[in-house]
Structure 1
Amino acid sequence: MKFSNTLRGYQRQWLPADITAGLIVTILLIPQSIAYALLAGLPPVAGLYASLLPLAVYAFLGTSPTLAIGPVAIVSLMTLDALLPFAAAGTAEFAAHATVLAGLTGIWLLVFFAVGLGSWTSFMSHSVISGFTSAAAIVIIINQLKYFTGIDIPHGGGSWFPIAYTLEHWHEAVPMALMMSVASILVLIFWQGYVPKIMSRWKMSAIILPFVTKSGPLIIVVVGILLTQVADLPISTVGDIPAGLPSLQIPAFSDVDWRSLIAPAFVIALIAYLENISIAGAMAMQQSHRISPNQELLALGVANLSAAISQAYPISGSFGRSMVNMSAGARSQVAGLVTLISVIFVCLFASHLFVTLPHAVLAAINTIAVWSLIRWQDGWRAWRFQYSDGLIWLLTFMGVLIWGAETGIVIGIGISLILYLRRTSKPHVVEIGRLGDSERLRSIERHQVETSPELLIVRIDENLYFANSQYLENYIYDRISPKSSVKHVIIVGSAINYIDFCGFESLERILEQLRGQGIQLHFAEFKGPVMDQLGKTNLLTQLQPGQIFMTASDALRTLGHL
């Protein structure tokens, strides 16, 4: 455990850029935090609370100088899915469950930290993550229908329920809500796509320019608030947001069914961490900055615990706000502290300004924020490269859409493991021979090589373990018939990094079977750690007079062939 390396050795000349970036991120964070809280089924103030203590925690424990921590869309959706079976969205009981969920998420992350899960960043394939986020983004957009149309769509009922309910109750739609949400989306698209190009033609201060190009959400928020106040529009608004800071208290675990939240918290912790580390890693590549994966677990875990004690809900790193933070010139987590101070100011003195903020505007912000997460091209490219990866993407995607976020991610992981076991259960095992007069040995199927009828040289390009050990046995037995002239079998283990007990037993059986036929077994190119494993058994003694060679070429020379 160590304090953030983005605050140690801080240079004074970084301060103006950090202040600017922190204020720009605040412009995005305030409306997003309110929108994401509503997406999670919580009151708007929960989103603001989730943007307080977690920012301070990450500033001192995180290892990314520009990662923006706080409420995010995917985790908000997962929070809603996890808590709907226990309480009605928007109730005090639901909020109590949310704080417990944040606490359990933080505990899981600290467990991951304790066992060093940070080094297992490839635990889930890119196809699983991409399929999950793409489907979750669609579900989030579908969940905005109640705000786009003004129809009071109940929570629950599955991912497609809002569409079915809207079609059935279309006559209840509020035209003004639809017009405002569409107009807000168009403004955001215009602001993101064209305002930066227009502003680049003007001579504008480097400090002012980022505020202008990133202020699209602020513009529609201000306009939406003014329209509802001046015109008294018949659309739903955020309503009262309590002023002040949250009181710190330990979540009431005894008042909720916290045991049933352990599994959802595990999935949220895993997704939050993978989202967090992928964002931090992507920015680190551009900044030549090193990220400590395990330290990130610690920072994110403590940040979620801080969210739990401040009446908030699970949080993670935000891709959109992080990119804005970096592009605005942030040099350290001082920018995050500036954002924290700004949010504190809003909670204390300006929360009343958002009372008439239309839900339609927040729905537009949510929609644009997650639209870029829908990555059809990832699934198509994965399918073209290797159909199994494309299948993983598709099944994860469909699982989230049909059965929800948690079930979808479990399906993705499960299919990945099944396909991995299927693939490694039939490893690439090949007979090899000498390539011309050289010392190189290559596959007899791909190259014209020299072989000897008295030698069978087999190379296995996979670890030897329970799922594939029988396959190696069968491969060797199939190539040695009763009339075979083979006198020596050489197993080349250059690609074997690990042998489990089943693999060891297979080597014993191969040795016994070959010896019964008067054939001698030899090993070549086995790595040191593998030999250390085998050295704990009597296999190497039983192998004699068979030998262990440094290279397959040494075996050929010693055995006097070719």
Structure 2
Amino acid sequence: MLTNPRLQPPGGDGYLAWLRNYRKAWLGGDVTAGIIVSIMIIPQSMAYAMLAGLPVEIGLYASILPLIAYALFGSSMNLSVGPVAVTGLMTATLLAPVATIGTEHYLQMAIWLALLSGVMLFVLGLLRMGFLANFLSHPVISGFISGASILIILSQLPHLFGLGGMPASPQDLLDNWTPINSLILGMGLLGLLWLIYARSRMAEHLQQLGMRADISRLASRLAPILVVVLGMAVTLGFDLAVHGVPVVGELPAGLPSLQWVTPDFASLRSLFLPAALISLVSFVESVSLAQSLARRKRQRIDADRELLGLGAANLSAGLSGGFAVCGGFSRSIVNVEGGANTPLAGVIAASVIALILLTIAPLFASLPLVVLAVIILVAVTPLIDIAGLRRAWCYDRAEGLTLLSTALGVVFIGIEGGIVLGVSLSIASQLWRGSRPHVAVVGRVPGTQYFRSTRRHLVEIEPHLLALRVDESIFFANSKAIEQGVLQALVEYPDTRHMLLIMSAVNHIDGTGLDMLSELTEGLAERDITVHLAEVKGPVMDQLAKTDWVSGQVGEVFPSTDIAFNTLGGLNRLNRAANEARAEED
């Protein structure tokens, strides 16, 4: 089968095709995007490491090798992988029962969580199981991310107020409030206002001043860098760390060492379920983002290679002392807007981050934690999908309920419980829909070969012929409902002698459904009613051909409803003419 060349990545398809066919014209965009993304993700990676309960340098470690590993195996030309808010929260939440934050054991468990997740994803990629991305519906993913964002916001409020933890009550907050808390809150609010302005209005104002639209958007997305620089400058200038403002603290210079400590088997076993959860969520989120980016440039994404790419990225994150990673929305958008053409942009970004670690990393020791907190708050607040909930609720209450329940489940039950609840509701809603099939009596639109429901259109019907269209696959959950729909139609058309089941919407008939059809056909035969079929799909007919129902009980199988109407209608007219002739003879 030939593929559309317009949907191919630059240089063609296959592993490293972009590198084998690299063009000099792409280099400028890749270099520019790589430098811009590296500058942007430094504060982000540090902030998400703090969210995960890890030293901030771990976020930088997780931003180097994963970019290179994804470039080797991934299929997206623009996806930028690394630490994100959701994986940071999941790491902290899933490791809480098995390790204490701040300990060496916690760090090693986070590393092994990334390693196990990488192994799972890579093995699934080798098994070509990219279809797993379809198992989490959009309402479940949207609800999960919304609930996770709420938890992230709550987790950062103590940092915004300069507290060691969430106060037990408002009175507890007031009793422990000091002038330094007011200073920290003031710094946080100033940074928050600046970042909100940069996200909402800065690009527009820069364009009014004459700046190009693409440059103004990039400038607004790099606004957190100014907050970081000013935060460090103020802290150093006024020696705020000595006065009690929490800062990052000592940051080791140099690249991460490729080593780890193997925990005992009981600890590893406790990580299997968390690794599976973080693998599934990160894969679905990354593939959705990669597909969205690919559509912009009319490129194609291979879900199996995305499994390999994400698996390699997480393996390299663990090997280099980092934590679980996946595709990030904001960093990928900046990558595109910066002019990235191929994954070389990610390799360049990794090189710049490595250079920063080798040179100026210790300067970040004076960065206030409140600055990282406001970066997280501004990054995750838009992820609370209120608009998506409103659309889902208006369009389909079941999907709206799934989204809302998943979000509330994540907040009040936990990450695992929220995902299980969302998936369960998705399955239940599909079974509920399938158990309420639409069975329509149809007739011919006058003068055409089209057939529509008698309840919605003015149509022609044939005497003694009842045509029913079953608009659902026939399986155990709806077989009784379909049988009742057929019997109810016979009550409305009591002179029926031929029943035509139009199967154009039936994709599968399970054993329960087949038994129901066989028993129904046998019962109708006793009432001198013959059952016929029309528009049976090939795969369904292949299965039915092996049964006695079609060969022994069904009258005719017609390729189209029009042929069935003409044939059975003509047969009815012949029967009527014969009956009238016999009546005249009598």
> Which residue pairs with 2:97 in the alignment?
85
> What are the Cα deviations for residues 162-215 of structure 1, in whole angstroms up to 9, with x where unaligned?
364676334334112111111111122233344434443567799987775443
1:555 and 2:564 equivalent?
A: yes
Where does 1:158-557 land on structure 2 (aligned, <5 Å)?
A: 162=166, 164=168, 168-173=172-177, 174-200=181-207, 212-233=219-240, 234-249=244-259, 252-254=262-264, 257-480=267-490, 484-543=494-553, 546-557=555-566
Kept in 2, the 8 Å contact 1:251–1:308? The answer is no
**1:44 equivalenced with 2:59 (yes/no):** no
CA offsets per residue over residues 235-289 of structure 1, 9 Å max, x none?
A: 1111122222222246625355222322222221111112111211111121222
Alignment match of 1:96 (pick from 105, 108, 114): 108
Partner Cα separation in structure 2 for residue 505 and residue 241 of structure 1: 70
Output the CA distance in 2 between the equivalents of 1:508 and 1:136.
50
- Given that 1:27 and 1:217 are in contact with CA atoms closer than 8 Å, whether structure 2 keeps it comes out as no
In structure 2, do the counterparts of structure 1 residues 343 and 401 end up closer, same or farther at CA, with 3 Å as the change threshold?
same
Q: Deviations over 1:23-54 (max 9, x none)?
A: 11111111111110110111112111111111
Q: CA deviation at 1:6?
A: 3.5
Unaligned runs of at least 5 residues, structure 1: 154-161
- Code of the aligned partner of 1:54: P
Structure 2 residue matching 1:479: 3-state secondary structure: helix
Moved more, 101-110 or 20-29: 101-110
Distance 1:77 1:125, change over 3 A: same
Q: Using a 3 Å threshold, how does the CA distance of structure 1 residues 433 and 200 change in structure 2: closer, same or farther? A: closer
Q: Residue 218 of structure 1 aligns to which amino acid in structure 2?
A: I
Preserved contact between residue 150 and residue 235 of structure 1 (Cα < 8 Å): yes
Amino acid paired to 2:292: A
Say whether the 8 Å CA contact 2:468–2:499 is kept in structure 1.
yes
Whether contact under 8 Å (1:5, 1:63) holds in the other structure is no
Partners of 1:439 and 1:499 lie apart in 2 by 27
SS of the residue 1:450 aligns to: coil
Mapped contact 1:251–1:309 kept (Cα < 8 A): no
Name stretches of at least 5 consecutive residues in structure 2 with no aligned partner. Answer: 1-12, 574-586
Structure 1 residues 164, 461: closer, same or farther in 2, change over 3 A?
A: farther
Q: 1:444-490: per-residue Cα shift (whole Å, max 9, x none)?
A: 11122233452221111111222212221222233345993322211
User: 1:55 aligned to 2:64?
Assistant: no
CA distance in 1, matches of 2:196, 2:239: 27
Q: Displacement of 1:324 after TM fit?
A: 0.8
Residue identity matched to 2:175? H
Q: Is the 8 A contact 2:146 2:407 kept in 1?
A: yes
Instruction: Check conservation: 2:403, 2:422, Cα contact below 8 A.
Output: yes
Distance 1:163 1:285 in 2: 46
Distance 2:294 2:96 in 1: 37
Deviations 1:314-366 (A, max 9, x none): 11001001111111111111110111101111222222111111100000111
Partner in structure 1 of residue 9 of structure 2: none
The 8 Å contact of residues 399 and 408 in structure 1, kept in 2 or not, is answered as yes
Contact kept, 8 Å, 2:218 with 2:334, in 1: the verdict is no
Whether the 8 Å contact between 2:479 and 2:513 is mirrored in structure 1 is: yes
SS in 1 for 2:199: helix
- Given that 1:210 and 1:328 are in contact with CA atoms closer than 8 Å, whether structure 2 keeps it comes out as no
SS in structure 1 at match of 2:264: helix
- Relative distance call for 1:483 and 1:13 in structure 2 (3 A) is closer
Q: TM-score, with normalisation over the residues of structure 2?
A: 0.89
In structure 2, C-alpha distance between the alignment counterparts of 1:516 and 1:58, rounded to whole Å: 66
Whole-Å separation in 2 of the counterparts to 1:193 and 1:390: 28
Q: Percent identity?
A: 39
1:20 to 2:32 alignment: yes
Size of the aligned set, in residue pairs, is: 553
Q: Deviations over 1:411-464 (max 9, x none)?
A: 111111101100111111111122234332211111222334522211111112
1:34 to 46, 50, 61: 46
Separation in 2 of the partners of 1:482 and 1:228?
83
Contact (CA 8 Å) 1:107, 1:305: kept in 2 or not? yes
Return the offset for 1:74: 0.8
Change over 3 Å in CA distance of 1:250–1:503 after alignment to 2: farther
* Equivalent AA in structure 2 for residue 432 of structure 1: V
The alignment partner of 1:257 has SS state of helix
Deviates more, 1:511-520 or 1:198-207: 198-207
Q: Which structure would you say has the larger Rg?
A: 2
Q: Which amino acid aligns with 2:226?
A: I
Per the alignment, residue 157 of structure 1 pairs with none
Q: Name whichever of 139-148 and 241-250 sits farther off.
A: 241-250
CA gap of 1:111–1:505, structure 2 versus 1, over 3 A, is farther
